[in-house]
Amino acid sequence: PGLSYTWIFNNNTLDLQEDGRRFVSQETGNLYLAKVEPWDVGNYTCVVTNVEAQQSVGGPPTPLTLRTDGVMGEYEPKIEVHFPETTYAAKGSSVRLECFALGK
C-alpha cells in the first residue's frame, strides 16, 4: 500500500509496453522477462517509490548476461523484489528494501 515499483534498464526507465515480454508486479515489485533476447542484456535497477511520501529509492544495478553454453541451472532467470507485506518505520528513520536477481 502506497508503494510503486519501476525498473531502470541501462539508465533508462524500462518501457513495459514495448513488446509485451516484460511485466512488473505492482504487488510484489517483481520484474518478469519472457524469452530473454540479446537486447535484454544490461543492468537492471529496481526503484521503489512511496507515493504518499513522494520519495523514491533505487537499489544497486543488477547485470543480466546471456549464457553462451545454452544450459540453464535449477532456476530460470528472473529479477525479484521481496518485501514483507507491511513495513513499519518511525518518521525520520531509515528503511532498507532490497532487490536481487535469481538465476544463472
For residues 83 and 12, which has the higher predicted lDDT (pLDDT)?
12
Domain count, the chain: 1
> What's the CA gap between 23 and 79, in Å, rounded?
11
**Cα distances (Å, whole numbers) of residue 94 to 26, 28, 61:** 22, 20, 21
Average pLDDT of the segment spanning 56-63: 87
| Amino acid symbol at 9 | F
Judged against a pLDDT cut of 60, whether residue 91 lies above it is answered with yes
Q: List strand residue ranges (DSSP E) for 14-77, in order.
A: 22-24, 31-33, 42-50, 55-58, 62-64
Length of the chain: 104
Q: Residue 63: which CATH number? A: 2.60.40.10
Domain range holding 62?
3-102
Confidence of residue 83 (pLDDT cuts 50, 70, 90): low
Among 11, 8, 18, 17, smallest CA distance to 79 is for 8
